Structure 1
Amino acid sequence: MKRFTLATLLVAFCFFSNGIAQTDAIRGKIEMNLPDTPTPTFEVNLDQSFFNLFINFTIKLPEYTEYAEMIEGVFVRSYNKESGDLTEMENHYQNILNTEQWQHIVKVKDQLHVSLLFAETPGVVNGIFVSFTDEQNTTFVNVCGEIDFQKLGILFGKIIESDPEFLKELKIGGKFGNK
């Protein structure tokens, strides 16, 4: 009888814990720690705990707090030319994007790809995935959460309003499509 009870508890635990793991999955988050891949030259892992800490420090700056509340994670992996052929990794990410029905928004040759995973709520995305390649590096960026583009635009406007020199200082050095 003890063996039956123990086996039943073990099966129930495995079934229950598997259900918890599935419900805790963050929509829009792409697993970036793939087996048998080269070590990234640059890696960023900012999860919900980082953004909760950020919210605590910016409690008197609601424009930043509002933005941080939308983000559940930011994950970046960058590889240099010495990392080897990254085609398999790029194909893996593209397969995930296609399987989960991400919308490919921007593609510039094979140098820049931007995809969004739209939520059921209009104007909200659950994920942003960007991959870009320059002469030296290939970089993958995944941002996930309940990202409201209208709120984001308003918050960006507030930041610009508070610092009019912001746009002058903002420089984009990308050379995508130029040779």
Structure 2
Amino acid sequence: MINIAGRTSDSFIFPADQATAYRYLSNVPRLFALMPHISLISVDNPQEMRALYSSTELKSYLFEVYCDVQVVLDPDEVLLKIEPVDRLPAIPTEASFNKASARGYFGCEVTFFETEIDETLVEYRLRMDAQVPRPTGLRMMPARVIERIAQGITSGRMQDISRAFAENVVADYLALANAAPPDESENS
């Protein structure tokens, strides 16, 4: 088995007040669409979802990690959590010559802090953990070497996801805000 695990944390300035930032980021399906390598593949209800981490490594090997999550919104604490769950149907662990897939665990915690101006400091932590089978195309490579390579790649992927998430959230929000029709009260 190959351990695919990574954690990262970061922050960014969201260009709106805290209530707007919380409302925007509480649209979890939209958040998954803004993360590279992670896609939402099913939504059983608005609070439980299945996501897929997918990445081709070493130009040949596809790794897929299916993660079942639940959304926990706490408006009183201005907190958003995406937590792993095991209630959705099982995911078979599979390996072929150049592909491996398994169930894994993904989590995210987002906190929102007001600033002195009309912006919000958003702090977030991402984590993922999975044990995927070794693709048969890698069977001749020593396990220790594979683990070291996998750890380096996963750490890099988590950083990529984190950076792109912050950039994509701000860009998407600004595009939505600029496309919104003018407020009717401004025309009176």
Could you say whether these structures have the same fold, taking a TM-score greater than 0.5 normalized by the shorter chain as the test? no
Report the TM-score range of the alignment, normalised by the length of the smaller protein.
Answer: under 0.3
Bigger proportion of residues as helix: 1
Q: TM-score, normalised by structure 1?
A: 0.28
TM-score (norm. length: structure 2) = 0.27
The structure in which a higher percent of residues are strand is 2
* Structure index of larger Rg: 1
